[in-house]
Amino acid sequence: MSIQLRGHHLLCLLGFRGMGYSEPFAKNMLEVYEQLWQEPSTLVTIVRGPDDLCGSFPCDQPNHCDSQNVLERDSFIRNHLGLEVGESYPWQQILDQVKSNVQPQHIPEWCATCPWLSYGVCEEGVGRIASGEGLLSPASF
């Protein structure tokens, strides 16, 4: 069994520090993060549109999971990382692709409309992968 993730969430996970759109959303994202942190060989299947994180998006908030600009961000990031929809990759392979192809300064450029951008955690998360530090331990959230 693999975790289903859309393109931009591959980068959102790098900056995850326990926050989220709601408590259930953050709890689900933490479970996914902990699995990937503990088992980097976990298979991730790349999907188009809503994924295993979107599944916990709160129904009482404006939904952006199918927005065109979010789908375009997914596609751009997938292509940049050389990942195909419907294919499964070990999480470590995705991290290796991030390390080779993504720099912190890409985040403000690619995620200009994201409400989480100003926290700076995604740039920090990408920087950790680029420098070989790896994912931050969830125990430090």
Closer residue to ligand SF4 in complex, CB, 92/116: 116
Closer residue to ligand SF4 in complex, CB, 41/68: 68
Measured distance CA(55)–CA(58) in Å, rounded: 9
CB-based contact 6:74 (threshold 8 Å):
yes
**Minimum CB–partner distance for residue 134 and ligand SF4 (Å):** 17
CB-based contact 3:36 (threshold 8 Å):
yes
**Minimum CB–partner distance for residue 119 and ligand SF4 (Å):** 8
**Minimum CB–partner distance for residue 137 and ligand SF4 (Å):** 19
Closer residue to ligand SF4 in complex, CB, 94/111: 111
**Listed residue (89, 97, 106, 78) closest to 36, CA to CA:** 89
CB-based contact 9:59 (threshold 8 Å):
no
Binding-site ranges for ligand SF4 (CB under 6 A): 8, 11-12, 15, 107, 111, 114, 116-117, 122
**Minimum CB–partner distance for residue 120 and ligand SF4 (Å):** 9
Closer residue to ligand SF4 in complex, CB, 1/54: 54
Measured distance CA(90)–CA(76) in Å, rounded: 20
